[in-house]
Amino acid sequence: PRIEDLAKRTGSSFIKQVTFHREDIHEPTKIVVRQVLDLVQKAIGKREIETAEIGLKSVCNIVAEYVEVRSDDSTPDDKFISFILEQLKSLSTTAFDNRDTFTLRVLSNAYREIGISTTRIPLIGGAQTSHESTNLVVYHLKEISLNAIEKDLYDGSAEAIRSIRDVGANALKQHSGDALAIHSLTEIGIKTSSGKDWYVPREICGGLSMLISTAIEAGTNSTRIGLDLESVSKLSVKIITTLPVNAELILLPFFGPKSKTFFKHSASMMVARALQQKNGEFPIIEIRAREKYVQDVIEDIVRMMSASGLAAAKIKDTMLCSDIAQSLFEIASICIREEFVTFSEGLIDRVDEAIASILSLYQAFVGSHAIITHETLDNLVFLAFEAMRSERETVAIDVIKNMTDISLRIYKEHKHKAKELVTRVVMVGVYAVDNNHDSIAKSSRIQIHRYESIIAEEEDLQKSILDEVKSSVEQHGNVMELHQSPEQFLRKNLSSESWDKYRKLEP
């Protein structure tokens, strides 16, 4: 019997909702499904994978047609789909008994196809959730993944994780609910991060970054996203603690640079997607709600990154700390430029939080300067430049103070690096003079004076920072000859006149 017979027998949409879930209506199709899966079971036993794939594909097609027939029925549960999922479960038992990774992968693909089909079932009231059948598919995939890990069948586990990711992403696009996919992946991640394998945790982080990014794009409730990011934060800290050797590799999907297309769901890209929620033509009441949504989501993203960064700093993982700091720089730079309608200060609070998180990473590296790289120094300068260009004076002044604080903190152990950083405070000040930002230039001058006053209490300074810069200006006629960065000082030669104006400012 063909599935279309069901449609003919159910009549009007009202009759359909009353009778569609009766067992006798489904029984002819169930018989067909049992027959097909019996053939699949035998094919699996003989390792005839092609035959098994064909059989499973036909079952997936039955589900797809079935969902199409019940397109107007929003009943929250579905006995027919539950029946099919239970039948597939028996196949996975055989695959585990045979330690058959390939069959597990084929089964995961079948679950994925069925799960994606169920996301098209309508929901009561269009709530931001997912259909019970979709949740059930994700549950079965989670069980496959966990069982595969217990038996060291990592390829089988990874395929189930990818299927959870795809089902969850489709559920989010359809109804803004993830079918418990994020919760399931986090649960698997917590259990797997205690072992030595890095492959499965990496797949989990890739799936989680994609799902959260998709949730933000779908406008999922900000409270829900906040809870998900909190779970990711706990997972990230556990990975850093228990798998320190591979932590950077595992967490790259979250903290990789947005300049690389591979990391299209990284934290900084999540921020960019959140900002899309407020950009458009909306009534003023809706604009305020959307802008509040953006504020809340970005706050949760920065908090997640800060927790991960501090965990990395505790174990002195300089590479991961640098990745996280770079992502925070990218987020701060994005937030500085963004304009809001109902929040006059825009995302300045989020910028301050990102800068504070960056500073906390450096403070955690007491006795080590490895994280204070040339790239880090230049990023701080560029952040100050971006703040000036966006007329965000308070941010630029805050960056200048942070640069000075870091210089003072690392001075005893690493004088050269400290001097290199504080010289960039001069760089920002001269740039401010050249662009008529007097208050920022004044702040730079004050911080240089503070730095030298504190250092002078501990030792005799043979030459002040300003004198060193002055010597460079007199020798080369360009303040930037002392340090040829960042980007050759934006490829702009600042004249000795700008330097003179800066030097004459009273601290």
Question: Mean per-residue pLDDT for 17-46?
Answer: 77
Residue 197, sorted as left (phi over 0), alpha (psi -120 to 50) or beta, turns out to be beta
Q: List the one residue out of 376, 332, 383 whose CA is nearest residue 353.
A: 332
Residue of 252, 143, 154 lying closest to 206 (CA atoms) = 252
For helices 132-150 and 101-118, give the axis angle rounded to 10 degrees: 160
Give the pLDDT score at 88. Answer: 92
Q: For residue 67, what pLDDT band results from cuts at 50, 70 and 90? A: confident
Measured in whole angstroms, how far is the alpha carbon of residue 243 from the centre of its chain? Answer: 19
Residues ≥6 apart with Cβ < 8 Å to 117: 60, 63, 64, 67
pLDDT, one tens digit per residue, over 163-214 is 999 999 999 998 888 889 999 999 999 998 877 789 999 999 999 999 999 9
pLDDT, tens only, 272-309: 999 999 887 888 888 889 999 999 999 999 999 999 99
Rg (CA), the chain: 29
Q: Tell me what pLDDT residue 355 has.
A: 84
What's the per-residue H, E or C state across 359-419?
HHHHHHCCCCCCCCCHHHHHHHHHHHHHHHHCCCHHHHHHHHHHHHHHHHHHCCCCHHHHH
Distances (CA, A) of 287 to 175, 269, 338, 457, 497: 22, 22, 14, 53, 46
* Higher per-residue pLDDT: 424 or 215: 215
Query: 189-193, 356-360, 490-494: lowest mean pLDDT where?
Result: 490-494
Predicted TM-score (pTM) of this structure:
0.85
- Report pLDDT for 177: 84
Mean pLDDT on 144-172: 95
374 pLDDT higher than 50: yes
The one-letter amino acid code at 83 reads F
Mean pLDDT of the chain: 83
Average pLDDT over residues 98-106: 91
pLDDT band at 128 (very low <50, low <70, confident <90, very high): low
Question: How many percent of the chain have pLDDT more than 90?
Answer: 39
Give the percent of the chain with pLDDT over 70: 84
Report which of residues 398 and 142 the model is more confident about.
Answer: 142
Average pLDDT (347-357) is: 86
* Mean pLDDT, residues 366-372 taken together: 54
- Per-residue pLDDT band for 409 (boundaries 50, 70, 90) equals confident
Q: If you average pLDDT over each of 19-23, 120-124, 288-292, 314-318, which comes out highest?
A: 288-292
